[in-house]
């Protein structure tokens, strides 16, 4: 399959939304008509105005800016940096300001209660969020004796679900999540 090349006219100004269907095809739009579309790229002019009015940090445009943070915590907690990048990619698309409908926040989409337990003071701070997320991944990997698939399933649907089913839960979202993260991890290697 040939890689997609997307370009926008310089004068264009709109948020861009993205959705990946079950077959792996990416769909982009500036006018989402389906709740499966998630923000992919903010309108730069509107984004600057929002940051000025609400004092919000900027949106990541380049995943490489998080490389030093990822490398440091990968080393500290002994977690493969490719796996960390894959989780960040799947969870937030490298948007440090991402907040899910369920309340998960930041690059690694930590739920407030989980973040609190990991001593994450600010889930929207990239370093704090990645530290907490990697620490949680390390815990899950240890809990599931290094089994990345089970650790990822627990990251997505909770340890209780994995324990209840004795493996990856039969939830389509969780099964898709594990496959997607492992695929991304292989691409980051």
Residue 59 is predicted with a pLDDT of 52
Residue 36 is predicted with a pLDDT of 81
* CA–CA gap between residue 8 and residue 124 (Å, rounded): 29
Residue 57 is predicted with a pLDDT of 44
pTM above 0.75, yes or no: no
When computed from its CA atoms, the radius of gyration of the chain, rounded to whole angstroms, is: 17
122-130's contacts with Cβ under 8 Å and 24+ in sequence apart are 124/57, 124/96, 124/97, 125/96, 126/66, 126/69, 126/96, 127/69, 129/96, 129/105, 130/66, 130/69, 130/70, 130/73, 130/84, 130/88
Residue 148 is predicted with a pLDDT of 96
Per-residue model confidence as pLDDT tens digits over 56-66: 344 545 788 89
Token pair listed for 88: 């960040």
* CA–CA gap between residue 30 and residue 18 (Å, rounded): 9
Per the annotation, the verdict on 91 as an active-site residue is yes
* CA–CA gap between residue 130 and residue 134 (Å, rounded): 6
Could you say which of 20, 23, 65, 91 is catalytic? 91
Q: pLDDT tens, position by position, for the chain (189 residues)?
A: 444 444 344 344 566 767 778 887 777 777 777 778 776 665 544 444 433 333 334 454 578 889 999 999 999 999 999 999 999 999 998 989 888 888 899 999 999 999 999 999 999 899 999 999 999 999 999 999 999 999 999 999 999 999 999 999 999 999 999 999 999 999 888
Q: Which residue segments constitute the domains of the chain, with CATH numbers given?
A: 16-54 (no CATH), 63-188 (1.10.530.10)
Residue 40 is predicted with a pLDDT of 63
Token pair listed for 39: 């923000």
* CA–CA gap between residue 111 and residue 159 (Å, rounded): 14
Residue 99 is predicted with a pLDDT of 87
∠ Cα 134 165 107 (to 5°):
25
Beta carbons of 73 and 84 less than 8 angstroms apart: yes
């Amino acid at each position: 399959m040939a890689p997609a090349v997307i370009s926008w006219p310089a004068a264009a100004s709109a948020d861009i939304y993205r959705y990946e269907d079950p077959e792996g095809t990416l769909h982009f739009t500036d006018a989402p008509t389906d709740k499966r579309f998630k923000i992919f790229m903010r309108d730069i002019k509107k984004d600057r105005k929002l940051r000025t009015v609400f004092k919000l940090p900027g949106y990541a445009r380049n995943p490489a800016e998080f490389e030093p943070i990822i490398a440091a915590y990968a080393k500290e907690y002994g977690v493969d940096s490719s796996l960390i990048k894959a989780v960040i990619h799947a969870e937030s698309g490298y948007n440090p300001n991402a907040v899910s409908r369920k309340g998960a926040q930041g690059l690694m989409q930590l739920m407030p209660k989980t973040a609190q337990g990991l001593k994450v003071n600010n889930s929207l701070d990239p370093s704090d969020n990645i530290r907490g997320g990697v620490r949680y991944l390390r815990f899950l990997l240890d809990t599931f004796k290094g089994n990345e698939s089970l650790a990822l399933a627990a990251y997505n649907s909770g340890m209780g679900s994995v324990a209840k089913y004795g493996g990856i839960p039969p939830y389509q979202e969780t099964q898709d999540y594990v496959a997607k993260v492992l695929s991304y991890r292989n691409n980051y290697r």
